[in-house]
């Protein structure tokens, strides 16, 4: 495939989701991504057909692995053996980026640390994703998405009831960490090409989660208190979310509430509230927000969400609002589809699928979501022959020696 990173080669020696997420994002941009997997076990995510009681498989396809590994080439290699290490070092010499999220002990045992690999390629950009960062008392502890949600303060930020944390469904922090790692290694590639230096790039689940909340965290540090996330205590009724007659929800997000208050009242069929002294301006509405929010709640429950969307589009005067979509609704949202935030790809086993597209658009070197996760070891012979110059006798010898 072509793209802005065509000609860049990435080696990925990683499991689970954070570093592989960076790998697939680089692959979206046209990089050649070679995934090195354990000769016997492979990437552990291949076996994750259920996570925390939720099934992640569809027609024999592991959704987690499929999502994090599109565009990649799978090479099986036992890098615990000397000949496996020699092949790894040969690949490092002809690569630009190395990605891992192995634990410090595994990195040390396998001798795939930056200091070791950079001796074989001083221009190598080495990207590592950790749980807590490489420093501090907890740097060696195991961490996963929900652990980072908890440690970063995100679970309280999302909590609806006062003092009760809430876990985010799905895998958010691994995706964010992979995004940050891709951003970091691309910055390092620019530094390498301009300044001639390879270097290590490190990101973590914890650091990425805090970065994701930069506005809220900085606000808490400066103000000494957190922003409210409970709809019961939001004092601007035009910045809240409301349930409609069909059980679906709609959100208003209008900071300029005085400007839009009259049109909003007309649209909701409550024109008598426009000039009500209790709600005349933002100060008065803030004083009486509980009663006003309750009134607006009751009005929204008289019509379906789609009916309210039509009414507010026609009569809301430009008020900022949106339907609150479920994940299942994203695949039919016209705005999402128009920008290919969800797009169709051709899968060799499942046919045409709707999948998450590439959120970054480039006008001259367009990235692409077209691709699928490789079968276990699918490209081992291809990479050894076409990248490193091995022949079929070499391949047979490596198989007999249980190197590949």
User: What is the pLDDT, as a whole number, of residue 52?
Assistant: 63
- Looking at 318, 351, 384, which one is the last position of a domain? 318
Q: Are residues 176 and 68 in the same domain?
A: yes
Q: Are residues 177 and 52 in the same domain?
A: yes
In a domain, 3, yes or no: no
In a domain, 324, yes or no: no
Q: Residues 6 or more apart from 115 whose CB is under 8 A from it? A: none
Q: Are residues 14 and 131 in the same domain?
A: yes
Closest alpha carbon to 36 in 404, 333, 338: 404
CA distance linking residue 186 with residue 372, whole number of Å? 23
CATH code, domain carrying 60: 3.40.50.10540
Q: Residues 6 or more apart from 150 whose CB is under 8 A from it? A: 165
In a domain, 188, yes or no: yes
Q: Are residues 42 and 188 in the same domain?
A: yes
- Looking at 318, 346, 370, which one is the last position of a domain? 318
Q: Are residues 152 and 270 in the same domain?
A: no
CA distance linking residue 394 with residue 381, whole number of Å? 10
Number of domains in the chain: 2
CATH code, domain carrying 282: 3.30.1540
Q: Residues 6 or more apart from 37 whose CB is under 8 A from it? A: 43, 74, 75, 76, 77, 376, 377
- Looking at 262, 286, 318, which one is the last position of a domain? 318
CA distance linking residue 212 with residue 197, whole number of Å? 29
In a domain, 227, yes or no: no
In a domain, 382, yes or no: yes
Closest alpha carbon to 78 in 44, 37, 24: 37
User: What is the pLDDT, as a whole number, of residue 53?
Assistant: 64
Domain extent, residue 263, equals: 241-318
CA distance linking residue 350 with residue 344, whole number of Å? 12
User: What is the pLDDT, as a whole number, of residue 162?
Assistant: 61
Crossing angle for the helix pair 18-28 and 173-195, to the nearest 10 degrees: 60
User: What is the pLDDT, as a whole number, of residue 347?
Assistant: 87
Note the pTM of the prediction, 2 decimals: 0.92
Q: Are residues 76 and 185 in the same domain?
A: yes
Q: Are residues 75 and 179 in the same domain?
A: yes
Joined together, the tokens standing for residue 232 give 């019961």
Q: Are residues 159 and 19 in the same domain?
A: yes
User: What is the pLDDT, as a whole number, of residue 234?
Assistant: 84
Q: What is the DSSP letter of 32?
A: E
In a domain, 344, yes or no: yes
Q: Are residues 40 and 144 in the same domain?
A: yes
Q: Are residues 44 and 176 in the same domain?
A: yes
Q: Are residues 153 and 45 in the same domain?
A: yes
In a domain, 286, yes or no: yes
In a domain, 221, yes or no: no
Return the percentage of the chain with pLDDT > 70, whole number.
97
Joined together, the tokens standing for residue 5 give 């990173």
Q: Are residues 119 and 199 in the same domain?
A: yes
- pLDDT per position in the chain (404 positions), as tens? 578 999 999 999 998 899 999 999 999 999 999 999 999 999 988 887 776 666 777 777 788 899 999 999 999 999 999 999 999 999 999 999 999 999 999 999 999 999 999 999 999 999 999 999 999 999 999 999 999 999 999 988 876 656 788 888 888 999 999 999 999 999 999 999 999 999 999 999 999 999 999 998 999 898 888 776 677 778 899 999 999 999 999 999 999 999 999 999 999 999 999 999 999 999 999 999 999 999 999 999 999 999 999 999 999 999 999 999 999 999 999 999 999 999 999 988 888 889 999 999 999 999 999 988 999 999 999 999 999 999 999 999 999 999 99
């Amino acid at each position: 495939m072509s793209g802005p990173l065509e000609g860049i080669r990435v080696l990925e020696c990683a499991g689970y989701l954070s570093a592989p997420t960076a790998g697939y994002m680089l692959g979206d941009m046209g990089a050649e991504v070679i995934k090195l997997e354990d000769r016997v076990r492979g990437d552990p995510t291949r076996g994750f057909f259920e996570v925390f009681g939720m099934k992640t498989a569809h027609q024999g396809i592991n959704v987690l692995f499929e999502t994090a590994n599109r565009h990649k080439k799978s090479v099986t290699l036992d890098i615990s053996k000397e000949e496996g290490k020699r092949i790894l070092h040969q690949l490092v010499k002809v690569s630009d980026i190395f990605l891992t999220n192995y634990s410090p002990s595994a990195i040390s045992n396998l001798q795939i640390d930056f200091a070791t690999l950079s001796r074989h390629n001083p221009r190598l950009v080495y990207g590592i994703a950790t749980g807590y960062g490489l420093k501090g008392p907890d740097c060696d502890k195991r961490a996963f998405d929900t652990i980072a949600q908890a440690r970063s303060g995100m679970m309280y930020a999302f909590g609806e009831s006062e003092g009760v944390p809430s876990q985010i469904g799905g895998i958010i922090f691994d995706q964010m960490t992979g995004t940050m790692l891709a951003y970091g290694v691309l910055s390092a590639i620019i530094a390498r090409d301009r300044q001639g230096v390879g270097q290590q790039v490190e990101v973590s689940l914890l650091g990425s989660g805090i970065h994701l909340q930069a506005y809220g965290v900085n606000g808490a540090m400066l103000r000494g208190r957190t922003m409210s996330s409970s709809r019961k205590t939001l004092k601007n009724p035009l910045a809240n979310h409301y349930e409609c007659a069909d059980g679906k929800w709609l959100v208003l997000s209008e900071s300029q509430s005085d400007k839009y208050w009259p049109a909003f009242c007309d649209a909701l069929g409550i024109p008598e509230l426009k000039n009500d002294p209790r709600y005349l301006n933002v100060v008065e509405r803030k004083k009486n927000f509980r009663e006003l929010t309750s009134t607006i709640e009751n009005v929204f429950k008289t019509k379906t969400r789609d009916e309210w969307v039509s009414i507010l589009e026609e009569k809301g005067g430009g008020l900022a609002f949106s339907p609150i979509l479920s994940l299942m609704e994203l695949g039919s949202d016209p705005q999402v589809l128009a920008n290919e935030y969800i797009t169709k790809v051709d899968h060799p086993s499942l046919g045409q699928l709707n999948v998450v597209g590439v959120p970054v658009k480039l006008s001259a070197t367009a990235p692409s979501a077209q691709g699928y996760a490789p079968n276990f070891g699918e490209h081992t012979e291809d990479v050894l022959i076409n990248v490193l110059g091995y022949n079929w006798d070499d391949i047979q010898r490596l198989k007999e020696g249980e190197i590949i």
